[in-house]
Chains A and B, each alone.
Chain A
Amino acid sequence: MDLLLDIIRLVVSVVIAYVVVFAAALANIVFERRTLAFMQDRHGPNRVGPHGIFQSVADAFKMMGKEDFRPALADPWIFTLAPIMVMIGAVAVQLTMPYTKGFTPADLNVGLIYIVAVTSFTTMAILLGGWASRNKYSLVGALRSAAQMVSYEIPMILALLIVAMVVGSFSLDAVVDAQADYRWIALYMPFTFLLYAIAAIAELNRGPFDLPESESELVSGYGTEYSGMRFGMFFLNEYAGMTIMSMVAVTLFLGGWHGPFEDALVVGGVAIVPLVWFLLKTYVLVFALVWVRLSIPRLQVDQLMAFAWKVLIPLGLLNIALTAAVMLWVPRWRWGLFVVGWVSFFAFVGLLDPILKRRLRKQRERVPVVTS
Chain B
Amino acid sequence: MLGMFKAMRTTLRHLPMKKITVQYPEERPRLPERSRGLFRVVIDPASGEPRCRACTLCETNCPVQVIRVNYTSKYQLTAPNVARVATRRVEVQPGIDLKKLQPVLDDYHEHGTGLIAVLQNAQAVYGYLPRAALQEVSLQTGVSLSQIYGVSSFYNQFRLSPIGKRLIDVCHGTACHVAGAQQITEALEEELGVADGKTTKDMEFTLGSVACMGACSQAPVMRIGDQTYGNLTPDKTRKVIRDLMEQVGAKKG
Contacts and interface: CB of A to CB of B under 8 A. Distances in A.
Given A41-B20, A43-B21, A294 B11 contact: yes
Nearest to A348: B1
Contacts of B8: 291-292, 295-296
Q: Contact size class for A?
A: 10 to 19
Contact of B4 (A37, A40, A41, A295): A295
B2 A295 contact: no
Contacts of A349: 1-2, 5
A48 interface: no
Interface string A309-353: 000000000000000000000000000000000000000111011
Interface in A24-49: 35, 37-43
Given A349-B2, A353-B2, A41 B12 contact: no
Given A348-B1, A352-B1, A353-B1, A39 B11 contact: yes
B14 interface: yes
Interface of A: 35, 37-43, 291-292, 294-296, 348-350, 352-353
29 contacts: A35-B15, A37-B19, A38-B14, A38-B16, A38-B19, A39-B11, A39-B15, A41-B14, A41-B17, A41-B18, A41-B19, A41-B21, A42-B21, A43-B19, A43-B21, A43-B23, A291-B8, A292-B8, A295-B4, A295-B8, A295-B10, A295-B11, A296-B4, A349-B2, A349-B5, A350-B1, A352-B1, A353-B2, A353-B3
A294 B19 CA distance: 17
Nearest to B9: A295
Interface string B17-33: 11111010000000000
- Please give me the 6 A-B residue pairs with the lowest Cβ-Cβ distance, nearest first: A295-B7, A295-B8, A295-B11, A43-B21, A39-B11, A42-B21
Contacts of B10: 295
A43 B18 CA distance: 10
Given A39-B12, A39-B15, 5 more contacts: A39-B11, A41-B18, A41-B20, A291-B11, A295-B4
Contacts of A350: 1-2
B9 to A, nearest CB: 8
Contacts of B16: 38
Nearest to B10: A295
A32 to B, nearest CB: 13
A43 B24 CA distance: 12
Nearest to A296: B4
Interface string B54-87: 0000000000000000000000000000000000
